[in-house]
A and B are shown apart, each in its own frame.
Chain A
């Protein structure tokens, strides 16, 4: 598998999350879940944390198996 995710890569991943975060309530409503503002904030914070964790985990794993030659320019 490929190498670590660079900070620039992380920035782009976070940018991609923005539309999801912004329309999270709409998305949830499509699945019949109506969220209060508080629940919404908790949910999107959780989402961002989850992505950050996943990236860290990926990098830790990749760090032990591959060298960091593909992360950036």
Chain B
């Protein structure tokens, strides 16, 4: 099992110094995005409820675009590429083939982020004719500056190149080694295959329709078509955010709980299921769209429900591995083993709380997925309530917790304060309980999302047992705690880096699973087979609806004119 284990005496940083540098750069890019995104988050939370409105309500949407794009595109994906580079390098135990290439994809992603970021920030300054107030879903005919679409395309190309880098390492490893794909590499490869399939949709939408349209080369686009292509990508991207968190839950959490992963074969099954099922479900975001027949919505719904399976299996494995860890540490009894877990370790507590909130997010997700109950909550605040539990906590909190664990092996620094770290993760949990709970309840009484001032002239919302004021207070307090939690996280990290490097070693080896890869059928590692099945399901789920949308409205119609929120530069120069 040499490849699954990093020798305890050697830090990742010492063994792979160049790779560690790329990983650090990626993680820092993620954390810059997290910091700015959190600032936008607190501004939104306080603005919506009406406590503090120091920006103009028209600028609220610029802030919200920044929040969405920076957090769910930049923060999550930069962390992902850093983590995946670490995971592939250590589990294959070989350096990347060409470190220049590795830096090239990283810089491509940075360039994309900067382009899109400039376009978004332009929205704050009226005198600059650049804006991208289109939120992270960029539904046409709302139009952004071409820089925004170009930045997005460049960023995605960067991720494609990163995937190639990891595949190349594996191809070469395979020519020199026998045996199963090491688990972490398996997870990275399946996630990337899913990503290649998923990004086809957004790439077509941006390159063939939105970018030429924003440049004035074509007059109009079919809004339902570009929207459908967005959601073709928009659901699997959700799993792309989750996959690194799952990788950590499967391969790192068991070890920090003091035990070992329960089952390697089931981990592989779960990732294969995600690869197959993540894409043919996107229409579940369009249950309320006119122009899509009910049957197509029904197919998406069925696939979505089956997509619950890998997450339910994960819940089992994660809890079982934790219990195994606790028992190794001397825990006993039916439930008292819980007390034997390392709650003082922020890496553990953070991941455990993240997993717990993911379960709660799973429940509200099942409501979203129910084609008919969805009518009650579609586009209400319930929906952000749901995904702040999933991507906003299961993913974000796991990433923060994992950073505490990764820090020594990437930087040779000890975490400045474990106590602050512990408070930070617990504070995130408490803040999110308040904010997300209030958002769910607000959504049930019809309060909309994506709205600067959800207070209306003609009527008032009836919050049933509680009051709108009480829900507002929960959002404001929760949002503030979350923001403070991010500040503590970043502060703790920065101070750690100012400390002197540690001497000696830290043992960060990951023990193999209780039931190892040799227990699993070889076919699980047959990636081409799974890709073929995934593509087939995509064809089945999407060819008819997209065909119908194009047949009804044409590729470029029946749209309307464009709606730049401020003038686009083309109109200024002509």
Contact = CB atoms under 8 A, between A and B. Distances in A.
A and B touch in the complex (CB under 8 A): yes
B343 interface: yes
A19 interface: yes
Contacts of B344: 6, 8, 72-73
Contact of A11 (B333, B345, B426, B437): B426
Nearest to A13: B343
Interface stretch (B30-38, B428-436, B527-535): B428-436
B426 A12 contact: yes
Contact of A8 (B331, B333, B343, B466): B343
Given A8-B344, A26-B466, A1 B422 contact: no
B342 to A, nearest CB: 4
B1 interface: no
Contact of A73 (B330, B339, B345, B353): B345
Interface string B305-339: 00000000000000000000000011111001101
B465 interface: yes
A21 to B, nearest CB: 10
B434 A8 contact: no
Interface residues of A, number: 22
A7 B465 CA distance: 35
A30 to B, nearest CB: 9
B349 interface: yes
Contacts of B185: none
Interface in B185-218: none
Interface string A1-35: 11101101101100100110011011001000000
A46 B340 CA distance: 28
A22 B348 CA distance: 26
A5 B422 CA distance: 16
B89 interface: no
A18 B465 contact: no
A1 to B, nearest CB: 6
Given A2-B339, A3-B339, A12-B349, A70 B466 contact: no
Given A8-B422, A18-B434, A72 B343 contact: yes
Contact of B332 (A1, A26, A71): A1
A32 to B, nearest CB: 12
Contacts of B429: 15
Interface of A: 1-3, 5-6, 8-9, 11-12, 15, 18-19, 22-23, 25-26, 29, 69-73
